[in-house]
Amino acid sequence: MAAAQTEEAELLTSFLLDPARLPNILTFDQFRALFPREVHANPLLRSLFLDLSAQRGHTIDTVAAAIEFEVQRGGQAIRREVARQRREEVDWEVDGEVEMDRALFASDSAAKKSKHTLGSILPELEGATAAVEGEIAKLQQQEADLKEALARTIDELGDLRTGELTNQQLPDEVLDRLENLQEICNRKT
């Protein structure tokens, strides 16, 4: 753990502190070139550069102290922050279907962004599960009813094939309905 903390301190120092010193970013000659040519010889220009360098040095010292403080704490705050950011990334993973719904229906969409916790999502999932199970039961009942109706139809067709009708009134019913249909057709013409 101590090696990881030392490595972390070295990384932060090399990336944040070492390149941040003003002479590493801007030399005095480059600084002087930023001003009009007539003030290049002015001694106050060097004083201004040294003052800016000192202010930047103070800021770098503050950052170095913060790095040292984090190393002493064991980097717990950094680890917590990284873990928090990872949780947020997981919470905001994009669902293509939801994004398409948002794009198509905007504010009318039922797919509003909402953060759920385990406690808030479980009742919703249980409700959705119950609704799906109810739909499945309803579809299974419809399937059973259709199978029963098909079985009756097949039995009746089997009677027609053999010529033995279980429903003795069927021929009369068919003739009555055909006559009724013929009358309707005659009235329409």
Q: Please write the tens of the pLDDT for every residue from 18-66.
A: 777 878 888 899 989 988 999 889 989 899 999 988 998 888 888 888 8
Distance of CA 32 to the CA centre of its chain: 52
* Angle at 76 (CA atoms; ends 72, 80), nearest 5 degrees: 155
Cα 189 from Cα 186, distance rounded (Å): 5
Angle between helices 2-12 and 43-73 (to 10 degrees): 160
Q: What is the signed CA dihedral for 22, 28, 31, 36, rounded to 10 degrees?
A: 160
Predicted pLDDT of residue 78: 66
Give the burial class of 78: count Cβ atoms within 10 A of its Cβ; 0-12 exposed, 13-18 middle, 19 or more buried: middle
* pLDDT greater at residue 69 or residue 91: 69
Q: What burial letters (b/e) apply to 10-27, b meaning 16+ CB within 10 Å?
A: eebeeeeeeeeebeeebe
Q: Per-residue pLDDT tens for 1-20? A: 466 667 777 877 877 777 77
